[in-house]
Chain A
Amino acid sequence: MSYSWERIKNILIKEFIQVLRNPRLRLLLFLPPLFQTLVFGYAVTSDVRNISIALYDLDNTPASRELVRDFTYSKYFTVKKVIYTDREEKDLIDHAEVNAVLNIERGFGRALVAGRTAPVQLIIDGTDSNTAAIILNYAGQVIEEYSMRTAPLELKKFPQLDLRPRVWFNENLESRNFYIPGVIALIVTLITLLLSSLSIVREKEIGTIEQLIVSPIRPAELILGKLLPFVLISLFEVILVTVVAVFWFNIPLRGSLLLLFGATLVYVLTTLGVGLFISTIAKTQQEAMMSVFLFIFPAMLLSGFVYPIANMPVWVQYITYLNPLRYFLVILRGIFLKGTGINILWPPLLVLLVLGLSILYLSSLRFKKTLG
């Protein structure tokens, strides 16, 4: 018995009809990608602005007021409250009403006039370690500037190192330029994994898989017919997110669109392979869905999507080499932000191809076995 394109086509058409006939499901192919892109575009920002602080100025001399003014007019800090007691200080931080309290002790101005070093205390809510670190950094800058301004004249005459940073690829350090290309990977992964694994498990659950087994269709044809529609759907999602990214959020797309589609095709080999694998182990759609989650959660966290891989412990870094999402993200960000072409991106593409083909092959073997 030979392979028949006719049989593959029939399955393919049936899958398309099944996904697209339900108006709510149709909507769900549009809405989540849009929603996710908007959320990541607007809500996900690691840029810390408007740090709210409270002022606790016990000194109240011209010198202390000048320091307070420096904090008030710096672009990072917003003064939310002026307080007068220790109790208020503790309460504000406990209730997370402010991020930090600037505490100027009595004697600050006198120390400055006398040429002694004047201490200033900054109490920071460390609950959010990342924000706290950034606050520390900004406060240090404000103090340093104040220090240099009030320093004795002779100090200012010394030669200075003049740092001139230049940021490439994302000149304004916009978080969304970093995250939105990653959203493509997230959506493609989610859609292909869910649709492929659930659609096969549903046949098992409802019992229609037995009809398919007794039909002349061959397992390979069944797999192709089942998976191809989702490849097309994932390409559609890529276009959708890219359009929103470029035209709504002005994310630069500096590389080739063709390469973007090509890379997506190579990438979905792995996710469809995993989806197929899940469909062989799960007996119900509920099981399949939890398995998808079991895969996608670590895959997302260990991909560099949000957390840089370089900051992870070394043994975790080794695990990430097995994560297809990691390579796809490198490719996506390369294409979008750096405009790199295949001459630079071929190694991750090759790894994806090898990973994808082997996962798909192994899952197909298992799938055939469970069918029989």
Chain B
Amino acid sequence: MMALVIPYDFSRQLEAGKPSPVQLLVNGSDSNTAAIALGYVSAVTQSYNRKMVETELAKSGRKLLLPVDLRPRVWFNPELKSRNYIIPGLIAVIMMIIAALLTSQTIAREWERGTMEQLISTPVSVPELILGKLVPYFVIALLDISIAVAMGEFVFAVPLRGSILLLFTISSIFLIGVLGLGILISVVTKTQLLASQLALLATFLPTFILSGFIYPIANMPVAIQLITYLIPARYFISILKSLYLKGGGIRFFWLDIIYLLLFMVLMIGLANRKFTKRIA
């Protein structure tokens, strides 16, 4: 990771009261790790410098008094545990994967196998069909969320400071939207291979990267930041983090909930409209 180069005349320079250069060679391949390592090293340098000043002053019986003393206080996650940051968002990622990927296959499969024609000839209506395709996956996904919440609570001890009822209510809204998205993909593509590729493209990457799950949206270029407003997981993840770590209630994220409701209505509506009971 790093190499510290101390020149041969290092201590002589210091004793002579001159600034002593020390070289640090850093492997920058992983820019993030490198930046953090640089931060640590400069902290070590600072404290070394301070200690030198302190020993100098101690010789003449004085004490170092630093003018300003920074007292940081970290709220919500005082130990700066990254798991507290990752696990709430993971619920959204799991839901996206389970719900959208699974449902994206359901209708495409009927087309591929030819069973769609049988379905078309039955009196079942489109909303009934969508509901029938939706409910099993809704139940499965809710079960998955419960597992994730329980794991977060009992295995990883991530604090859930907000209301668990609210968590499940909002999750259900998001879930129905995502299931609708999966069905929409399935209806449009009609082959499973295509559907799976499209579902991956539409769900996995945006949820992982453009939602603020790991990478803070504020650090992205403005054009990309604008795109993130179109990613439903963005709203859901910010709700989840607020619910978990800040113990926030509806008054903190009612706007996000409205976006999620919009997403849900839009997806179900579109799936319903695009689903034609006709042999094309």
Residues in A lying within 8 Å of B, measured CB to CB: 22, 24-25, 28, 31-32, 35-36, 39-40, 42-50, 52, 67, 93-96, 99, 112, 115-134, 136-137, 139-141, 143-144, 146-147, 150-151, 155, 157-171, 173-175, 177-178, 190, 194-195, 198-199, 202, 205-206, 284-286, 289-290, 293, 297, 306, 308, 310, 333, 337-338
Contact = CB atoms under 8 A, between A and B. Distances in A.
A293 B204 CA distance: 10
Contact of A140 (B36, B65, B70, B101): B70
Q: Select the residue from A24, A124, A165, A310 with max chain B CB neighbours within 10 A.
A: A165
B32 A123 contact: no
Contacts of A161: 14, 19-20, 22, 45, 48-49, 52
A96 B238 contact: yes
Given A22-B191, A158-B52, A163-B24, A173 B31 contact: yes
Given A117-B67, A132-B80, 7 more contacts: A42-B221, A42-B223, A46-B35, A120-B69, A167-B26, A173-B35, A175-B32
- Counting chain A CB atoms within 10 Å of each CB, which of B13, B28, B84, B109 scores highest? B28
Contacts of B148: none
Contacts of B133: none
Contacts of A36: 205
Interface residues of B, number: 93
Contacts of B219: 45-50
B252 interface: yes
24 contacts: A28-B201, A52-B218, A119-B69, A123-B72, A124-B72, A124-B75, A140-B43, A150-B67, A159-B17, A159-B52, A160-B52, A163-B42, A168-B27, A169-B28, A170-B28, A177-B31, A178-B30, A178-B31, A194-B196, A198-B193, A205-B113, A308-B30, A310-B1, A337-B29
A43 B68 contact: no
Contact of B246 (A40, A94, A162, A198): A94
Interface in B38-97: 38-39, 41-43, 45-46, 48-49, 52-53, 56, 64-78, 80-82, 84-85, 97
B34 A170 contact: yes
B214 to A, nearest CB: 7
Contact of B85 (A127, A160, A205, A285): A127
Nearest to B97: A293
Nearest to B199: A289
Dominant secondary structure at the B interface: helix
Nearest to B86: A129
Nearest to B246: A94
A158 B49 CA distance: 9
Contact of A306 (B200, B205, B214): B214
B262 interface: no
Given A127-B246, A169-B28, A337-B29, A162 B22 contact: yes
B166 interface: no
B196 to A, nearest CB: 5
A191 B119 CA distance: 32
A94 B248 contact: yes
B23 interface: yes
Interface in B221-280: 221, 223-224, 238, 241-242, 245-246, 248, 252
